[in-house]
Every structure is written in structure tokens, then in C-alpha cells.
Amino acid sequence: MITKLLIALALMALCVIVHAIGTTGAFRRIHQTPALNDPGFWPPTWLLIRIAGWLILLHLIEISLWALLYASGQAMPNLHTAFYFSAVTYTTTGYGDLVLPEAWRLVGGIEALTGILMCGWSTGFFFAVVNRMYRSRPAETAGN
């Protein structure tokens, strides 16, 4: 059990690395886009759509990493099932239609905690971008 927990902690650290690389890269690109300061509706909206898509892609990569662990460790019967279980666990939806073998159950809990942290990080990132958009707008267009 200790070995599985150490592997889960390493995978949590890998998720943090993936998220750090992804959000840092996005942050650098966002600062270069004129949509951030555009007073119109569509340029900033399309920027937010692209950011949301990018963040979801990061989460899907992280979910895939957990799924690979479950499939390779034979905690789930195949990769498709492991990906579904991982998505449900990472997002803390927890349908309960699939459960891990007893030796893997704490690993699932670590994935759920990791998912909460990564989703919170994404929310904070999204909020920071929206906040920056509103700070950079002239006072007369910020309320519209």
C-alpha cells in the first residue's frame, strides 16, 4: 500500500508540473494578445473560450495520466474504463458505478484531492484573466 501511495503522490506532483507548464505558457501568451485590452465583446470572449479549452485540455492530460496508472496497475480492466473512472474521480463526480480494488482505494482519494486542487488552480487562473481584462478597460466601458 505504501508503494501505491508514493506512486500516487508522484503522479500528483506530475499533475502540478503539467498544470504549471500549461498555465505559465498560457499566461505568457495572454499578455501578448490585444484581446486582453479590447473594449469590445467578442475579442475578450473568444480569448476566454480559448483559455477554457486550454485548461480543459490540461485536465484531460492529467486525467489520462491517472488512467494510465490504473490500467497499467490492473486496477481497472482496460484503458477506456480506466479513463472513465479517472475522469469521474478527478472531477469528484463519483458515480459509484466503478470502484477500485481495496489496495487501490486510497490512490483514488489522492486523485480526487489532486483534481480539486487543479480545478481550483484553473478557476483562480481564469479569475485572474477576467480580473485583468476589467482592470485594463476604461471606466466607461467596464460596466457595460
pTM of the model: 0.92
Q: How far is CA 129 from CA 14, 35, 78, in A?
A: 24, 11, 39
Q: What integer pLDDT is reported at residue 67 of this predicted model?
A: 98
Measured between alpha carbons, how far is 131 from 72 in angstroms, rounded to an integer?
A: 42
Tell me which DSSP letter residue 99 carries: -
Measured between alpha carbons, how far is 58 from 73 in angstroms, rounded to an integer?
A: 23
Tell me which DSSP letter residue 102 carries: G
pLDDT band at 135 (very low <50, low <70, confident <90, very high): confident
pLDDT tens string 54-66: 999 999 999 999 9
**In this model, does residue 144 exceed pLDDT 70?**
no
**In this model, does residue 138 exceed pLDDT 80?**
no
Measured between alpha carbons, how far is 52 from 143 in angstroms, rounded to an integer?
A: 23
- Whether residue 117 contacts residue 125, with contact meaning beta carbons closer than 8 Å, is answered with no
- Whether residue 90 contacts residue 63, with contact meaning beta carbons closer than 8 Å, is answered with yes
Mean pLDDT along residues 95-121:
97
Residue with cell 479517472: 86
Cell of 1: 500500500
Measured between alpha carbons, how far is 22 from 26 in angstroms, rounded to an integer?
A: 6
Cα 86 off chain centre by: 13
pLDDT tens string 91-101: 999 999 999 99
